[in-house]
Amino acid sequence: MCGIVGYIGDKNSVPILISGLKRLEYRGYDSAGISVLDSDRCSIIKSKGKVSILEKKVIEHKLNGTVGIGHTRWATHGEPNEINAHPHSNEDGTLTLIHNGIIENYSTLKKTLQKRGVTFKSETDSEVIVHLIDSFLKKGHNFFQSVRYALNSLEGTYGVAVIYSKEPDKIIVARKGSPLVIGIGDEENFIASDVNAIVAYTSQVVYLEDDEIAEIYRDRFNARTIKDIEAVKEVVELEMAADEVDKGGFEHFMLKEIMEQPESVFNAMRGRLLFEDGISKLGGLKGFEQKIADSERIIISACGTSWHAALVGEYMLEQFCEVPVEVDYASEFRYRNPIIKKTDTLIFISQSGETADTLAAMREAKRKGALVLGVCNVVGSSIARESQAGVYIHAGPEIGVASTKAFTAQLIVLALITLMVGRHKSLSLVDGQNIIREIQSLPEKIKKILSLNSEIEKIAEKFKDAKNFLYLGRGYNFPVALEGALKLKEISYIHAEGYPAAEMKHGPIALIDENMPAVFIAPKDSVYDKVISNIEEVRARKGRIIAIASENDNKIDSLVEYSIKIPDTIRMLMPILSVIPLQMLAYHIAVKRGLNVDQPRNLAKSVTVE
Ligand code: M6R
């Protein structure tokens, strides 16, 4: 986690660093800090908490400098305080460093350095890097070689940026396991953990690969491998607009992203549906279609919300593609002995494309010889680049820590993959065309659901003080129950559990009383009657019930306290609709509890540590 940004050019770097850090705050917001080169020394300002606190300090100190680096932290080693905030510096303050990642051998390195008389200020693992670099400088090596030698001694992951007042014409950056992108400007260059931080200044970027190190000057850069071999880099043109990462008049990114779903869902399907042939066309899977269709097994792996999307994908692929599907938590994948065969296809789903667990699981599957596909949102992310083939979900930047529009766009892509594989197998033209028609109707149906916003806000008011929540659904809507519960707990801090509705009677029913709200996802589908029986069981025990129901369902109103009516669609696509009221409910409850929905406590948007 953690966000890194840097600037070298003719302008004052400080406002550029602060605005970049604000855009990276979703990666961590425990503390923030910047360092700028100012004549012959590195000036550092740090603060505990959000970038806005740092910003005030920076203005008070009138900090100025044309070369600078900045960091926003998600704490791993050492509590979130000012001392542990980055940048870290060597003893004479000539060298400063920011780091995203974890140095696994830091305690051995720290002991060695301490024996040599180095004094450490912080409890972080990151501080060892700056002292190590300093030790090589003291041996007479130049800045670049000192950084390179230091990095060669590290075990773990890093995205680092370093500045040195005795070589003030450059920033040195390197990457291993943590993302780093270089932004190319006109007589100025930028560095960042992701393009959101620099898209306002340039659309030309270069992605650094693992084990690469680069010297960034104001007018050029040189990239090499950590073993000191020249690295040939390609400049990529970004398609993203700077205003895509603004709140666009909404109070929170999360609300903006919920409201964007008619467009993001449309963008995920745009140009990918061939109605005449009843099939989908996915450019990123070109040449692999038959191999995927011939797989003996499909394994989908992901974390968090993306894992919930994977569960829906399992239902879709098994219903239409006659292929056994397994879903695995990426964080567990490596810690057993997954039986992976060359005839398997593995799909790794990740909004950020940088989740450490998902990336590591993908690398393990690749090593075992299976076909490895990525389903990502962030273009050029590690999972997107390292997978053999893949599909972008085109949801646009998702900044709110709670994933919303990425989930529904992931489900569209999984539906498109299902359609493609199904049509290579026994799915008929008519059935394929029916699925396409239903997919195409989704943006309008989503608009209808979004128009229920103020109705859902009123329901949120009634339940905002609840201590616990149960979310219950069956079949395709079981993963939606899990997702609804995750949304609520991560932003409102209310304990919530998602369950298959029929599992309730095997234990959770003991929790039901007049204080326990239960949210049922109960559209009129093949399991509707069974879900109604489960609703009756909660009613009999005086539980409070909110139902997500079909718009033509009048019967349910007499059984529940509140119903939220949504349009119908085919079963495989229902989660794309039924999840949206749950996103809105969680959002409004969190706002009413006075919480920061975009930056919930203890969380970060992309979890780039294990
Ligand atoms: O970027 P990814 O999709 O790989 O992220 C996976 C999870 O960390 C993420 O979905 C997380 O659970 C969200 N905070 C959920 O809202």
* pLDDT single digits (tens) 256-312: 999 999 999 999 999 999 999 999 999 999 999 999 999 999 999 999 999 999 999
**562 to 508, 516, 519, 546, 558: CA distances (angstroms):** 21, 14, 9, 5, 9
CA of 303 to the centre of ligand 1 (A): 6
**Interval 215-222 mean pLDDT:** 97
pLDDT given at position 301: 97
Using a 6 Å cutoff on CB, does residue 382 contact ligand 1? no
CA of 352 to the centre of ligand 1 (A): 8
- pLDDT above 90: residue 68: yes
The residue with greater pLDDT, 1 or 279, is: 279
CA pair distance 276, 273, nearest whole angstrom = 9
For the chain, give every domain's residue range. Answer: 3-245, 251-450, 452-610
**Interval 451-478 mean pLDDT:** 96
CB-CB contact of 402 with 590 (8 Å): no
Closest Cα to atom 16 of ligand 1: 402
- pLDDT above 80: residue 338: yes
Is 530 in the active site?
A: no
Using a 6 Å cutoff on CB, does residue 351 contact ligand 1? yes
Closest Cα to atom 4 of ligand 1: 350
pLDDT given at position 344: 96
pLDDT band at 241 (very low <50, low <70, confident <90, very high): low
Percent of the chain surpassing pLDDT 70? 98
Using a 6 Å cutoff on CB, does residue 304 contact ligand 1? yes
Peptide bond into 87 cis (omega under 30): yes
Which of 50, 256, 445, 605 is an active site residue?
605
pLDDT given at position 504: 82
Using a 6 Å cutoff on CB, does residue 490 contact ligand 1? yes
Is 605 in the active site?
A: yes
pLDDT given at position 244: 67
CA pair distance 224, 509, nearest whole angstrom = 60
CA of 510 to the centre of ligand 1 (A): 31
CA of 573 to the centre of ligand 1 (A): 21
Element housing 589 (H / E): helix 574-592
The residue with greater pLDDT, 247 or 169, is: 169
CB-CB contact of 463 with 589 (8 Å): yes
Using a 6 Å cutoff on CB, does residue 606 contact ligand 1? yes
Pick the CATH number of 452-610 from 3.40.50.10490, 3.90.1150.10, 1.50.10.20, 3.90.230.10: 3.40.50.10490
pLDDT band at 40 (very low <50, low <70, confident <90, very high): confident
**377 to 27, 104, 349, 356, 425: CA distances (angstroms):** 16, 29, 9, 15, 28
Which of 2, 42, 303, 321 is an active site residue?
2
* DSSP label of 590: H
CA pair distance 68, 470, nearest whole angstrom = 48
**Interval 523-542 mean pLDDT:** 91
pLDDT given at position 6: 98
Helices in 387-527 by DSSP H: which ranges? Answer: 405-424, 429-450, 453-463, 477-492
- pLDDT above 80: residue 239: no
Using a 6 Å cutoff on CB, does residue 402 contact ligand 1? yes
φ and ψ at residue 328, rounded to 5 degrees: -125, 140
Using a 6 Å cutoff on CB, does residue 400 contact ligand 1? no
pLDDT given at position 603: 74
**40 to 143, 422, 498: CA distances (angstroms):** 15, 65, 58
CA of 306 to the centre of ligand 1 (A): 6
**Interval 90-108 mean pLDDT:** 93
**Interval 115-134 mean pLDDT:** 95
Ligand 1 nearest-atom number relative to CA 607: 8
- pLDDT above 90: residue 608: no
CB-CB contact of 350 with 375 (8 Å): yes
Ligand 1 nearest-atom number relative to CA 304: 12
Q: Which top CATH class is 3-245? A: alpha beta
Q: Which top CATH class is 251-450? A: alpha beta
Using a 6 Å cutoff on CB, does residue 475 contact ligand 1? no
Using a 6 Å cutoff on CB, does residue 103 contact ligand 1? no
- pLDDT above 80: residue 52: yes
pLDDT given at position 287: 94
Question: What rounded mean pLDDT belongs to the chain?
Answer: 93
Predicted confidence (pLDDT) per residue in 565-595, tens digit? 999 999 999 999 999 999 999 999 999 999 9
Ligand 1 nearest-atom number relative to CA 352: 1
pLDDT given at position 242: 64
Domain 251-450 shares a fold with domain 452-610: yes
Element housing 37 (H / E): strand 31-38
